Structure 1
């Protein structure tokens, strides 16, 4: 249950309107795809945490991050904001609970978030958001769901994990720029021939330069599993009727073996991973 707004001084009602206007400004900036207008509600050094746990650097980082969203996945969308409660800690400091809904151009709901913010007013500037922690609430049904019975089947801690995709591209640099700008993937390695390697923190994407004199076609090329023990996995593949994985003769340190499934699809096996930046600490805690 949300607390009502809590007037704490003679001019509290004016301040409540001014605080609520911060969220109105965000919604208007979002509607126009104007990242600078959206970010204007935040202090220059705002401590902002996204639903993924990312922490952009103050207002400039907030603006830059939303500019990417407005050009990419949230282009043409709208933001509905609902300030649920304002609690004054001092006459110039308050906490705010707010909910937001992102709607597609056709009005459909894309995402709902809940934020806890700290807002401040100084003698020289109006109310601004000093700290903002955004999150995606757990659905009520999931919160009330009974805990599952303990399984009698032991979940293997060594289960292979799909961690790599490779695409042969005519223009890897241009394609890397696309995935960086639209999906915020991080470019972590570039080969001399122009091949680019990106990561979202969990999965690496290799954009391999197409060779005009080669036989490899453009498009999806292979995928890769991170495994605990390549020898054990090799034995399992042979037992399943596929050829024994071949050791890769490559200077790249991202995969040790190349294997093939029963229909001829290539995939890599790696015990040490596929490179890239470390994953976020825990997205469920964002």
Structure 2
């Protein structure tokens, strides 16, 4: 991690990158808007807001502070961060409530599609001097009946040992610690990487002001991000955390689930660690 990246990974820069990624993703989607659903959801949201104002006797000073803060969220480009940290985990909970297979959790703002394609056993792109504890992450992809899914696609991305993501902090190689791994004929994969670090969400913008004002902490526990898919099956988006890791019990994004905890063990090669996690995909 360069000093440039550490000094320049600002909320505004991160927010701009996250906003651009989201807009690119939305361009490929077509959405038919159900006016009755819009009416119901917006009406209930406004009614809930009105109820909060009445119950807590919100003053004009508080209202103006909220208005100023909402404007600042937009100017800082932090709507993706705000929504992904404090809202997405409930949307994901509803979306996955009927799933029989592996548990999902939030995608977050740092996914970038089309990471380099890699074979079933691969090392993620990284610099020769990449800091961090070497980690072997392996597992198998199968369906709910236990049948392996050959050539399943395992997209993986993660923060580095300093807590920064490539393409969202300057000074990092474009695809650092990002890859698209294709499982072998039995659905197995082995990914050589480094153990990520916990990281603070950007706090120099509007979201940071909210965190400070509410007396919260801004930390996310160390985790691996994954999207796992196979033809004829539902894509699963998830994050995997590390047993005993900092902030696993009080994640700012409320995204940790017991089923997503990894249990690292030594490989016998120095400080290297290994973990295993098998994915089960529902039929589409």
TM-score of the aligned structures, taking structure 2 as reference length: 0.23
- Structure 1 length-normalised TM: 0.23
The structure where helix makes up a greater share of residues is 2
Higher radius of gyration, 1 or 2: 1
